[in-house]
Structure 1
Amino acid sequence: MTTEMPLSFPRRVDLAHLPTPLQPLDRITEKFSTPHGGPRIWVKRDDLTETAMSGNKLRKLEFVAGEAMAQGCDTLITCGGVQSNHCRTTALVGARLGMRVQLILRGELDGLPDGNLLVDQLAGASTAFYPPREYFEDLTNLFTHWQAFYAERGHKAFCIPTGASDGLGIWGYIAGSEELLADCRDAGFIPEHIVCATGSGGTQAGLTLGCHLLGSEARVTGYAVCDNAAYFQRKVREDIRHWCRLSGNTVDESGLNIQVNADYIGPGYAVADEPVYRAIAEVASLEGLLLDPVYTGKAFYGLLQELHKGNYRDCKNLVFVHTGGQFGLFPHRENFPFLL
């Protein structure tokens, strides 16, 4: 498979340990196969992009940080929940590159910092907490405020949207899809399905566009962890259109296959039901693979339910993209009483 048009990648900072491994999950495959068959399940270990488990966010931030440096910026500003994986990764990237980091966080500090927030602070990021209503209603103004705050002090700040999910960050998984498809070829198969958690839409957009540009027939499905299917259908298209504007490339949107499964969101973002926690424990005990209850745990639980229903029985090989997030597991420790 080759690209239909030559791609000129923008400036990039090498941050991730690539390529990440592609591994079979044969115990999971055996346990969840049905009498009617089913796929061999593989996992693309993008949780291993960096030793601090920065996951999928690091692929995007390679291109974001490259652009920020090209513009002469010395400060990164981004946003997310108190336990945001993206914010934690941005904090670590800033520390690694010698850049200031300002985090606009949704929620409040409740007790001692834990999980991702603890890593944010260890990495030296500045944190500002806002109630959810103010955060959602005034996020644009909050970015403007902090950008002006640093400008007044002689610093130039680069603003990064939620999850680095836009037409710049999408390059991370255009490159990532190229790597994944090459891994599959080296392993002797062509994937029919590629599955990932989708929370800000950028990873799914990059995988969808990357497979499209590379001529792959793999169907990319994002398992939503918030919002709804219509939101992610729209968000993926918006990110791809933004990429077209920034890169000067064109894409026939009618050829895009944007698949979203929003059946396993549960009570809401970052809130899971007991079956998700049990699935996390089961995957860890069967495969030594650690998932989180916000993103990968929900998506993998949804995948297991779909396998049980037989919805992938005509597929030979399915790849689950592990996007990381393990630090977000620890603040949920009280939801595993069945392990005691």
Structure 2
Amino acid sequence: MPKSLPVELPERLCLGNLPTPLQPLVRISERYSLPFDGPRIWVKRDDLTEFGMSGNKLRKLEFVAAEALSRGCDTLITCGGAQSNHCRTTALVGARLGLGVHLILRGEPDTAVDGNLLLDHLAGANVSIYSPSEYAANLEQIFAYWHEEYLAHGHHSLCIPTGASDGLGIWGYLAASQELIEDYSSQGFEPEHIVCATGSGGTQAGLTLGCQLLQVKTGVTGYAVCDSAAYFQSKVREDISHWSRLTGIDLDLSSLKVGVNANYIGPGYGVADPEVYQTIIEVASLEGILLDPVYTGKAFHGLLQQLRNGIYQGCSNVVFVHTGGQFSLFPYRKNFSFQQD
């Protein structure tokens, strides 16, 4: 097994507390997996990259922010939902680096300033909220408008796509795939599967490409939180193809295995079934780990159902990549039900 990626990493900023821990989920495994001849479940704690609990987004922004500085940009413009983890992380990174940040958010004008949106404002980001219909129809034009607006006032901006998921942001989880392989090698095992939530596709793309470049047999599956399996299979390949064009490294995309499970999306993006909230409570009470109802809660709930159904029967180890998002718990507080003595 190669000890390092066969490609040289581009310039990056050291913003995260890396490497993050790889921990066994002992009680979850005993309850949901081992009785069904399933694997031991491990969690890669990328919720602990720190920088305001910025999760997986920080790994991508180490490379994206370095590119912005190399281009002489003084402003970052990006987009997402009103409770976007990526937008919140960009706001904090901008504050740390002395860069202006403008967030194009999908929501309603009366969206409560809570959770990630509260942190956006605390970090000093400029926030523009657009209705879901306008956002969906005109996002490219909105980006262009704000880019030109800042240019007219003497500012140079870098426009970052949703989730920083493209051929530049993919470097974050290319580097993470090497770190992860070193983690489990030091623990003396090689998992059959790595699973993660997939919402913009970049984390899954980086892990998928990383495993291929590192020549490991471990499969990568993204549990979709929106859209469809076909969408993410296309999006992951699109990001990897973009990376290939940027680096000039030829890849055989036809041999790339892109695993997507879209069976646990629920009613839609940012909307979870009651069972997901129960899973969040259970994981917190059993393992002291916080999941969120938008990304990790849905993905981990899906993983538990698959374990119960024997999908991973006969496997020895599965690693869940915890991508963060805990601040999204607070705007959804009314969906939790607790029994009090």
On the 8 A contact 1:39/1:317 being kept in 2, the answer is: yes
2:273 and 2:157 mapped to 1: Cα distance? 39
Residue identity opposite 1:182 in structure 2: E
1:263 corresponds to = 263
Counterpart of 1:240 in structure 2 is 240
SS of equivalent to 1:103: strand
- What is the aligned partner in structure 2 of residue 90 from structure 1? 90
- Alignment deviations for residues 71-95 of structure 1 (CA, whole Å, 9 cap, x no partner): 0000000000000000000000000
Partner residue, 1:206:
206
CA distance in 1, matches of 2:321, 2:248: 28
The answer to whether the Cα contact below 8 Å between 2:16 and 2:51 also exists between their aligned partners in 1 is no
Larger displacement relative to structure 2 (6-15 or 162-171): 6-15
Q: Deviations over 1:274-328 (max 9, x none)?
A: 0000000000000000000000000000000000000001210100000000001
What is aligned with 1:292? 292
In structure 2, relative to structure 1, the CA distance for the partners of 1:100 and 1:232 (3 Å cut) is same
Structure 2 matches for 1:130-209, cutoff 5 A? 130-209=130-209
1:287 counterpart letter in structure 2: E
User: Within the alignment, does 1:325 sit opposite 2:325 as a pair?
Assistant: yes
CA contact 2:23–2:42 (8 Å) conserved in 1:
yes
Structure-1-length-normalised TM-score: 0.98
Residues 233 and 119 of structure 1: is their aligned pair in 2 closer, same or farther, counting only changes over 3 Å? same
- Residue deviations 1:42-83 (CA, integer Å, cap 9, x gap): 000000001411000000000000111110000000000000
How many angstroms does 1:337 deviate by? 2.0
- For structure 2, the 5+ residue unaligned runs are none
Return the offset for 1:35.
Answer: 4.2
Shift of the alpha carbon at 1:255? 2.3
Distance in structure 2 (CA, Å) of the matches to 1:100 and 1:186: 41
Match status 1:336 vs 2:333: no
Decide whether the 8 Å contact of 2:16 with 2:49 is kept in 1: yes
CA distance in 1, matches of 2:110, 2:186: 47
Partner SS, residue 301 of structure 1? helix
- Tell me the alpha carbon deviations over residues 214-262 of structure 1, each in whole angstroms, 9 at most, x when there is no partner: 0011110000000000000000000000000001111111321100000
Secondary structure in 1 aligned to 2:306? helix
Give distance in 2, aligned partners of 1:251 and 1:101. Answer: 35
Give the secondary structure class of the aligned counterpart of 1:190. Answer: coil
Q: Which moved more, 1:159-168 or 1:6-15?
A: 6-15
Q: Residues 7-22 of structure 1 correspond to what in structure 2 (within 5 A)?
A: 7-22=7-22
**Residue in 2 that maps onto 1:249:** 249
Q: Distance in 1 between matches of 2:4 and 2:50?
A: 31
C-alpha contact (below 8 Å) 1:36/1:310 kept by paired residues = yes
Q: 1:4 to 1:289 in 2, by over 3 A?
A: closer
Secondary structure of residue in 2 paired with 1:9: coil
**Matched residue, 1:302:** 302
Secondary structure of the structure 1 residue equivalent to 2:43: strand
Normalised by the length of structure 2, the TM-score is 0.98
Gaps of 5+ in 1: none
Structure 1 vs Structure 2 CA RMSD: 1.2
Tell me: CA distance 1:50–1:36, structure 2 relative to 1, closer, same or farther (3 Å): closer
Aligned residue-pair number: 340
SS at match of 1:41: strand
Deviation of the 1:331 alpha carbon: 0.4
